C-alpha cells in the first residue's frame, strides 16, 4: 500500500512521481557503463504483438546504436515491454540514447497513423563489476522462452545481440 492516498479533489495535488533514476545521472554517461533497461508500454498493452511494429523498433535500435556507437549487448522486444542491455559510449549516455530511440519510434508510429504509447520513463539496472555481461545478455534473449512465446532459445525474431553471436 503506498504511503499516500490518491484523490480526485482539485484542492489537493497528487504526489510527485518517484524518480527511478539515480541522483547522479553522470553514471549513465560514463563510457563502458552497462545498463539493463526495461521500457514498458502504457497500460501493458501488447503493441509489439504486431510483428511490423516490433521489426520497426529493431530497425531503429540498430540504426541509432550504429550512429551513436552504443553497444547493444542484448535486446528483446516482448509484446508489452522491451529489454535492452546497453553500454554507454563516449558520444552519448544511456538516458539520451533511450530518449532517441523512443522518440524516433514514436515519430515513425505517428507518421504511419499507428497509436503506440510507451511509458514516459524506463526501469534500469546498472550492472555491477561482478555481473557477467554475456550471461545477462543470454538471460534477456531467453525471455520469450520463459514467457511461453517461443519454444526454443534463439528462435524469437525480435531478440538478439548487436555485439555477440548468441
Tens of pLDDT, residue by residue over 3-25, are 544 444 445 554 554 455 445 55
DSSP 8-state symbol, 128: P
Secondary structure letter of residue 20 according to DSSP: -
Q: What is the pLDDT of residues 91-147, one digit of tens each?
A: 899 999 999 999 999 999 999 999 899 998 899 999 988 889 999 999 999 999 999
pTM: 0.83
**What's the CATH class of domain 25-160?**
alpha beta
| 28 in Cβ contact with 93 (< 8 Å) | yes
In order of 8, 72, 87, 110, 145, the CA distances from 137 in angstroms are 43, 9, 12, 31, 14
Amino acid at each position: 500500500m503506498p504511503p499516500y492516498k490518491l484523490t480526485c479533489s482539485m484542492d489537493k495535488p497528487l504526489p510527485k512521481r518517484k524518480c527511478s533514476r539515480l541522483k547522479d545521472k553522470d553514471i549513465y554517461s560514463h563510457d563502458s557503463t552497462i545498463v539493463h533497461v526495461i521500457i514498458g508500454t502504457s497500460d501493458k498493452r501488447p503493441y509489439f504483438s504486431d510483428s511490423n511494429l516490433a521489426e520497426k523498433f529493431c530497425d531503429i535500435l540498430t540504426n541509432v546504436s550504429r550512429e551513436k556507437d552504443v553497444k547493444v549487448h542484448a535486446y528483446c522486444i516482448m509484446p508489452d515491454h522491451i529489454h535492452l542491455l546497453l553500454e554507454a559510449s563516449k558520444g552519448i549516455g544511456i538516458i539520451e540514447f533511450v530518449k532517441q530511440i523512443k522518440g524516433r519510434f514514436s515519430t515513425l508510429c505517428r507518421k504511419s497513423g499507428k497509436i503506440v504509447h510507451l511509458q514516459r520513463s524506463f526501469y534500469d539496472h546498472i550492472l555491477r563489476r561482478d555481473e557477467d555481461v554475456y550471461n545477462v545478455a543470454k538471460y534477456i534473449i531467453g525471455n520469450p522462452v520463459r514467457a511461453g512465446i517461443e519454444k526454443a532459445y534463439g528462435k524469437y525474431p525480435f531478440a538478439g545481440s548487436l555485439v555477440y553471436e548468441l
